[in-house]
Amino acid sequence: MPSQPSANYVMTKKTGLPYSLFNKPSRSGASDAFAAQRAFTVIELIVCMGVVAVLCGILLPSLRATREASCKLHCASNMHQIGVALVAYGIQSDNRIPPSVNAMGAHPLRQELMASRVQAGGMGTAGWDGLGILVKGDYLGECQCLYCPSHHGDHAFDRYADGYANKDSASVQIYTNYHYSGHILRQAGVGLLAPRETAITLDAGSSVLLLTDGLRTRSDFNHESGLNRMMADLSIEWWADTGNQLRNQIPESAAFAGASAAAFDSIWDDINPQQQTASP
C-alpha cells in the first residue's frame, strides 16, 4: 500500500501531493523583520573594516621584513656560489682571482667593477672582464647568482640573459648586481711614494674584501639597510649601513658614477678599512 503522508503534511486539493505545513510562506512583514535582524549595520561594517585595517598595518611590515630577510640569505647564497667559482678558477690560476681592466692603470675605474663584460675589451677573452671571466670559463652555470633578488635598479638578469647565452658573440656592456674588488690590492702611498699594488690571492684572509652588493649608483645598492660582503677567506657577513651614511655617499645617477675614483675608493675603504693597512 502507498505510504500515507505524515501529520505534518496535508494533501492539496488540485494535485493530491503532500504540502509541508512548516513551509508555508510567511507574511511579508515577518520576512522583512527577520532579514533586518540578520543584516550588518553601518556601524558594524565600519568596525569590521577598522579591525581589518589594523591587522593589515600590523602584519604587512612583518611580511616585508620576512621577505627582505629571505632576500638577504638568498644574496649571501649567491655570493657563496661566486666564491666557489673563484676557488675553482684559483686552482687553475696559482690561487689568483680573475683580473679586471677596471682595476688597473694610474686611474683605475673601480666604480665600474660591477661590469662582467666591457665593450672596449678587457683582459678576459672577447671582452669578458672580472667576474665575467668566470662566466666565460663556465664556472657559474646560468649566471643568475650574479643578480640579487633585492635589486631594484636597471641591471636585472633578464636584461642580459641573451648576452650570457651568446658568450662568444655578445658585445654589449653587461653589469652584475655585485661589486668586485678586482685582482689588485692598492695601498695608499706615503709622502712622495706612489700607491703600492699587490696581487690579491684567495689566501689573503679576512682582511681583504673581494665582493659586496652593488655600489655604482644608489639603485645598485640592493639592500637599503646595508649590504652583504665577502672577504678573501670566502667568509660572508652582513654590514649594517647605520643611518644610510654609506648609501648617501653613492651617486644617484650613472652619469656621475665615474666622476670621482677617489670618492669611490673612500666608499670602498669605509666598508673595508683594513684594506689600506693590509701588508703587501
- Weakest mean pLDDT among 118-122, 157-161, 168-172: 118-122
Contact criterion met (CB below 8 Å) for 177 and 146 = yes
How much is the mean pLDDT over the chain? 79
Phi–psi pair at 129, nearest 5 degrees:
-145, 150
Residues 266, 248: Cα–Cα separation, whole Å: 13
The span from the first CA to the last CA of the chain, in angstroms, equals 111
Per residue in 136-166, pLDDT tens?
A: 999 998 899 999 999 988 999 999 998 898 8
Torsion over CA: 45, 47, 50, 54 (sign): negative
Q: Is the pLDDT of residue 22 over 90?
A: no
Q: Residue 69 gets which letter from DSSP?
A: H
* Pairwise CA distance, residues 34 & 38, whole Å: 7
Separation CA 37–CA 41 (nearest Å):
10
* Mean pLDDT value across residues 120-142: 79
What band does 260 get if pLDDT is binned at 50, 70 and 90?
low
The pLDDT > 70 percentage for the chain reads: 72
Beta strands in 159-267 (DSSP E): 174-175, 178-180, 184-187, 196-199, 209-213, 226-231, 236-240
User: What is the tens place of the pLDDT at every residue in 179-193?
Assistant: 999 998 876 555 555
Question: 36-50 b/e with 16+ CB inside 10 Å = b?
Answer: eeeeeeeeeeeeeee
- What does the pLDDT look like over 26-80, one tens digit per residue? 555 555 555 555 666 778 778 888 878 877 777 666 666 778 788 999 999 999 9
pTM score: 0.73
Which span out of 12-16, 19-23, 29-33, 171-175 was modeled with the highest average pLDDT?
Answer: 171-175
Give 256's pLDDT tier (boundaries 50, 70, 90).
Answer: low
Rounded Cα distance between 86 and 97, Å, is 6
Alpha-helical runs (H) found in 92-169? 132-136, 157-165
Q: How confident is the model at residue 276 (pLDDT cuts 50, 70, 90)?
A: very low
